[in-house]
Amino acid sequence: MRQGSDRSAALRLVPVSRETEQRLETFVDLLAKWRSVTNLISPASFDHVWSRHIADSVQLLPLAPDAKRWVDLGSGAGFPGMVLAIQLAGKTGALVHLIESDQRKCAFLREVARATGAAAKIHPTRIESIAPESLMPVDAVTARALAPLPILIGYAKPWMERGAVGIFPRGRTVEAQMAAFAPPEALLCQTINSRIDPSTAILIVRHDESAQHSKRS
């Protein structure tokens, strides 16, 4: 599929405003220039960048429609964090924290943020080095293809304990991942099918305040 038809198909599934579409175009143009310099995404994946990466990220924002402040763990080439930051560009109080330890990828993310006006702040460091309270308030935390589920939940837990919702694309094996993980009672977990590829799933995780209160009483 040529990229033009891939883009049209993707935007039919997840329509965005013309202004957001233009910003996403700028993102993809920069990705095309930078991917030969640093390992952002594979050539085969880039051929389907709009459906596999852009639209797959765009669909996450409506899952937390009131969330303005996000944390994206292990941002890589900017999926989903930079896409979310582009969608939130110009919205009062909006900010997406992109945490990425690869310095070359951070340079790319900074260039995208500058060129698109995305509501993004780049943190060139390891996730473990971030003090969670330094990014507060946080409404939602996300990550894509970062780590096994128990490790990912451990990374996100400090923000979820403070009220953030976790929104994690987890591919085709989410049920097996959940069975192996056995989430604690304090976490409420829900899976929904991806709008882009219904054979894949998105995990939504919330901290259950009532579970904590019942343990205390």
- pLDDT attached to residue 203: 95
pLDDT at 217: 42
C-alpha–C-alpha distance, residues 35 and 104, integer Å: 11
Quick one: CA torsion of 126, 71, 22, 17, rounded to 10 degrees?
A: 170
Whether the CB-CB separation of 135 and 158 falls below 8 Å is answered with no
pLDDT confidence of residue 173: 80
Q: Which helix (H) or strand (E) holds 88?
A: none
Specify the number of domains making up the chain: 1
The angle subtended at Cα 123 by Cα 35 and Cα 136, nearest 5°, is: 140
Q: Which domain holds residue 101?
A: 3-216
Q: Which amino acid is at 187?
A: L
Q: What is the mean pLDDT of each run of 10 residues along the chain (217 residues)?
A: 80 96 98 87 89 96 97 97 98 98 96 98 97 97 92 95 96 80 82 93 88 47
**Residue 216, Cβ neighbours under 10 Å: how many?**
6
Q: In this predicted model, what pLDDT tens digit does every residue of 5-35 receive, in sequence order?
A: 899 999 999 999 999 999 999 999 999 999 8
pTM above 0.85, yes or no: yes
Alpha helices in 88-145 (DSSP H): 103-116
Strands (E), the chain: 69-73, 95-99, 120-123, 140-143, 165-171, 187-193, 201-207
Q: Which residue has the tokens 């993707």?
A: 10
- Nearest partner of 153 among 124, 120, 188, 198, judged by Cα: 188
Paired strand residues for 190? 204
| Per-residue pLDDT at 1 | 46
For residue 57, the domain's CATH number is: 3.40.50.150
